[in-house]
Amino acid sequence: MNHILKNILLGIVLISMHANAQFKPVELTGKIGKYSIEMFITQLDKSTKQFKGSYNYKGKKAALQIKGELKGDCIIIDEFFKNKNTGSFYLSKEDGDSLKGFWKAENKDPLIVLLKYKNAETAKQLVPNDLMALNKNTSNDIDGTYKVEQYFISDLFHPNIEIVFNGGTANFKKLGNDSLQFLVEMVCGPTSHLAYASGKAVKKGNQYIYKANISGEDDKWCEITFTFSNKKVIAVANASFECGFGARAYLDNELIKVNNKPSFKNE
């Protein structure tokens, strides 16, 4: 039994070593404000999209350690010196070979950051989670979970900087031939308000339509249409307040199917 366990553990170690061996260090050069820096990303966990590395100011030997995460077309990085968090980077991709954004430390105004990859080929390793890869393994049936994801840098509450998420999920389950159960949860930035809707939509032509008088006012109805095509859905609501959405929240999105099984709360 011990021999079998040792072989299993050895296999896990070898797999881990092989995965790490496949990653080639990514080097960037550029500026934080007026200060020139060199950054090195040396480790990447492909499953979590988190990475580690270091950077230093040109002409300085002392290096700061970094921990980061890929979020769509954005990257957030925390820096550490002697195990103390001394600042953070908020970056977005520019033209495929560079990053642009801000560096921010506590109680300090943000500084503009411009970085460029020294090798475009190694930079291709830094890819976010690919919803289209999940989409390829789904069926053409309507039933399932659909997603849309988008990240961007927001300085709405300057001098605070943050990476904001826009998007969410939609779940559908057919109820016979002419209706379906749905649940939609969308986050709308940069204020991160929620557009939530659930109920039963009825088939009309090539669409499914949900209509309800949620507000209680005679002339204010919520109407949501769902149009399915090629393992995608276009979800559009005619209004926000009438559908009970949060302030500045809306529903006008194309989502792609990522799972054949829908997920409904309390099921």
Residue 81 sits in the same domain as residue 137: no
Residue 135 sits in the same domain as residue 255: yes
Residue 241's domain is classified under what CATH number?
2.40.128
Q: pLDDT tens for residues 210-264?
A: 999 987 888 889 999 999 999 999 999 999 999 999 888 999 999 999 999 999 9
Q: What is the mean pLDDT of residues 125-150?
A: 93
Residue 158 sits in the same domain as residue 255: yes
Banded model confidence at residue 191, pLDDT cuts 50, 70, 90: confident
Banded model confidence at residue 41, pLDDT cuts 50, 70, 90: very high
Q: pLDDT tens for residues 201-210?
A: 999 999 999 9
Residue 109 sits in the same domain as residue 137: no
Report the share of the chain in percent with pLDDT over 90.
76
In the chain, the number of structural domains is 2
Residue 114 sits in the same domain as residue 149: no
Residue 173 sits in the same domain as residue 255: yes
Q: Which of 70, 93, 123 is the last residue of a domain?
A: 123
Residue 105's domain is classified under what CATH number?
2.40.160.90
Banded model confidence at residue 6, pLDDT cuts 50, 70, 90: very low
HSE value, Cβ hemisphere, 13 Å, CA-based, for 46 = 11
Let me know if residue 108 belongs to a domain.
yes
Domain membership of residue 138 as a residue range? 131-259
Cα–Cα distances (Å) from 173 to 120, 134, 148, 190, in that order, read 43, 19, 18, 31
Is the pLDDT at 8 greater than 80? The verdict is: no
Residue 43 sits in the same domain as residue 94: yes
Instruction: Find the radius of gyration of the CA atoms of the chain.
Output: 23
Q: Which of 99, 123, 147 is the last residue of a domain?
A: 123
pTM of structure = 0.82
Let me know if residue 5 belongs to a domain.
no
Spatial CB neighbours of 22, under 8 Å, sequence gap ≥ 6? none
Q: Give the residue carrying structure tokens 């276009």.
A: 234
Q: Which of 100, 123, 146 is the last residue of a domain?
A: 123
Let me know if residue 265 belongs to a domain.
no
